[in-house]
């Protein structure tokens, strides 16, 4: 015979809701179109940029719409054809230079699919950081798509090195459930040496916009003068780069962060690595790395099929911390 207490316990068990089934971690694109106009850092050319939503599994695709026949340049490690001053991607004879800042913004807020229409061969430098691109992307709104985000999970360490002694530089990927970057710089310059030389950033913190996106590219007056004599850095100036002489920063407002130089290197690395076409699940560490070594690292990873695999998350709760949320505006 059931007591009243037993009946209540039975009723409670029957009324208890079934465990929730987690939502798939979905791909993302934009909700609407976003546009910007600026100049190329090296070419000095006026360039129009139009960011457009793209279907699931498209990836990020630059489209040279100024050519007689528009040419698409999909992002993948093999698309990088020049890394001397920036990351340049190409398809046939069509190229787009200086893609790393907008690619960093896409990585920082988790955009998977995007068409980037461009009217010249170089992405506009805007303010020299990724902040303006983050603003453009977030202004358009982020749209979830009915397809799982595909990650490249690093399963074994991969490292590339160049030089010896004072000229040594290296970059490395290690297994990690998330995406963490650690970078150390080493410049023989009074101003740079007086700032933070090393920084570590975890994308799962949700603080890309606050901690990384606003860090600007930088250069030295001697280098700028030399590059301009070679027809480069024609669009560069104090409004889109940190410029230093031998002893001081020339920008009236000074630095945005106490460690802005190393943070910009992390910004660049995020953009360079996102060119692989998928977000990485890995810990990246580097010493004096740059665009060339970052791309060499991607190619070294892809050359070792046992060092990585593609993964998705049917339940977003199983994804690394912070990966299910859209990055907050600053």
Q: Token pair for residue 126?
A: 């805007």
Nearby residues of 156 by Cβ (< 8 Å), 6 or more positions away: 175, 304, 306, 307
Does the structure show a pLDDT above 90 at 62?
Answer: yes
Q: Which is nearest to 129 in space by CA: 87, 98, 171? A: 98
pLDDT tens, residue by residue, 293-319:
999 999 999 999 999 999 999 999 999
C-alpha distances in Å from residue 43, one per residue of 123, 138, 141 = 10, 28, 31
Q: Please report the pLDDT score of residue 235 as a whole number.
A: 81
Residue owning tokens 């070792």: 304
User: Percentage of residues in the chain with pLDDT exceeding 90?
Assistant: 78
Q: Which is nearest to 44 in space by CA: 273, 168, 227? A: 227
Does the structure show a pLDDT above 60 at 330?
Answer: no
3-state secondary structure of 97: strand
Residue owning tokens 């600007």: 216
Which range is least confidently modeled, 67-71, 120-124, 225-229?
Answer: 225-229
Q: Characterise 98 by phi-psi region: left (phi > 0), alpha (psi -120 to 50), beta (else).
A: left
Q: Please report the pLDDT score of residue 5 as a whole number.
A: 56
Give the mean model confidence (pLDDT) for residues 147-172.
97
Q: Please report the pLDDT score of residue 188 as a whole number.
A: 80
Determine the Cα–Cα distance for residues 54 and 58; give it in Å rounded to an integer. Answer: 6
Give the mean model confidence (pLDDT) for residues 113-141.
97
3-state secondary structure of 295: helix
pLDDT tens, residue by residue, 34-49:
999 999 987 888 999 9
Does the structure show a pLDDT above 90 at 178?
Answer: yes
Q: Please report the pLDDT score of residue 227 as a whole number.
A: 78
Q: Please report the pLDDT score of residue 24 as a whole number.
A: 96
pTM: 0.91
Domain ranges of the chain: 20-318
Q: What does the mean pLDDT of the chain come to?
A: 91
How many residues are there in the chain?
A: 330
Q: Is 24 exposed, middle or buried (0-12, 13-18, 19+ CB in 10 A)?
A: middle
Does the structure show a pLDDT above 90 at 19?
Answer: no
Q: Please report the pLDDT score of residue 313 as a whole number.
A: 97
**Other Cβ atoms within 10 Å of 245 Cβ, number:** 12
Does the structure show a pLDDT above 90 at 222?
Answer: no
291 has catalytic annotation: yes
Q: Please report the pLDDT score of residue 2 as a whole number.
A: 47
* Homologous superfamily assigned to 20-318: lpxc deacetylase, domain 2 (3.30.1700.10)
3-state secondary structure of 2: coil
Of the residues 101, 264, 278, 291, only one is catalytic, namely 291
Give the mean model confidence (pLDDT) for residues 217-221.
89
Per DSSP, 130 falls in state S
Q: Is 222 exposed, middle or buried (0-12, 13-18, 19+ CB in 10 A)?
A: exposed
Q: Please report the pLDDT score of residue 225 as a whole number.
A: 76
Band the pLDDT of 221: cuts 50, 70, 90. Answer: confident
Per DSSP, 166 falls in state G
Which range is least confidently modeled, 7-21, 47-61, 191-205, 277-291?
Answer: 7-21
Q: Which is nearest to 51 in space by CA: 31, 66, 25? A: 31
Nearby residues of 135 by Cβ (< 8 Å), 6 or more positions away: none
C-alpha distances in Å from residue 62, one per residue of 100, 118, 179, 198, 298 = 12, 7, 25, 32, 20
Chain center to CA of 109: 9
Residue, of 5 and 262, whose pLDDT is higher: 262
φ/ψ of 305, rounded to 5, equals -55, -25
Does the structure show a pLDDT above 70 at 8?
Answer: no
Q: Characterise 181 by phi-psi region: left (phi > 0), alpha (psi -120 to 50), beta (else).
A: beta
3-state secondary structure of 170: strand
Band the pLDDT of 101: cuts 50, 70, 90. Answer: very high
Q: Please report the pLDDT score of residue 236 as a whole number.
A: 82
């Amino acid at each position: 015979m059931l007591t009243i207490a037993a009946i209540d316990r039975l009723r409670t068990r029957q009324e208890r809701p079934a465990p929730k089934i987690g939502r798939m971690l979905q791909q993302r694109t934009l909700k609407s179109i976003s546009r910007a106009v600026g100049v190329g850092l090296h070419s000095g050319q006026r360039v129009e940029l139009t960011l457009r939503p793209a279907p699931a599994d498209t990836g990020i695709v630059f489209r040279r719409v100024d050519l007689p026949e528009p040419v698409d340049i999909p992002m993948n490690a093999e698309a990088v054809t020049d890394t001397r001053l920036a990351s340049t991607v190409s398809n046939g004879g069509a190229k787009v230079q200086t893609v790393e800042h907008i690619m960093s913004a896409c990585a920082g807020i988790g955009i998977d699919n995007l068409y980037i229409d461009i009217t010249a061969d170089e992405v506009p430098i805007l303010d020299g950081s990724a902040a303006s691109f983050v603003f453009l992307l977030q202004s358009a709104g982020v749209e979830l798509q009915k397809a799982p985000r595909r990650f490249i999970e690093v399963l074994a360490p991969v490292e590339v090195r160049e030089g010896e002694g004072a000229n040594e530089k290296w970059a490395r990927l290690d297994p990690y459930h998330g995406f963490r970057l650690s970078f150390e710089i080493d410049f023989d310059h009074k101003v740079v040496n007086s700032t933070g030389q090393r920084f570590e950033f975890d994308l799962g913190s949700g603080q890309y916009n606050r901690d990384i996106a606003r860090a600007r590219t930088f250069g030295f007056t001697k280098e700028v003068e030399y590059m301009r004599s070679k027809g480069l850095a024609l669009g560069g100036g104090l409004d889109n780069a940190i410029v230093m002489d031998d002893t001081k920063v020339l920008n009236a407002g000074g630095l945005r962060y106490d460690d802005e130089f190393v943070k910009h290197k992390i910004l660049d690395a995020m953009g360079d690595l996102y060119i692989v076409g998928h977000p990485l699940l890995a810990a990246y560490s580097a010493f004096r790395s740059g665009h060339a070594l970052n791309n060499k690292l991607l190619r070294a990873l892809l050359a070792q099929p046992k060092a990585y695999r593609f993964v998705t998350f049917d339940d977003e709760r199983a994804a690394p911390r912070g990966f299910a949320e859209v990055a907050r505006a600053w």
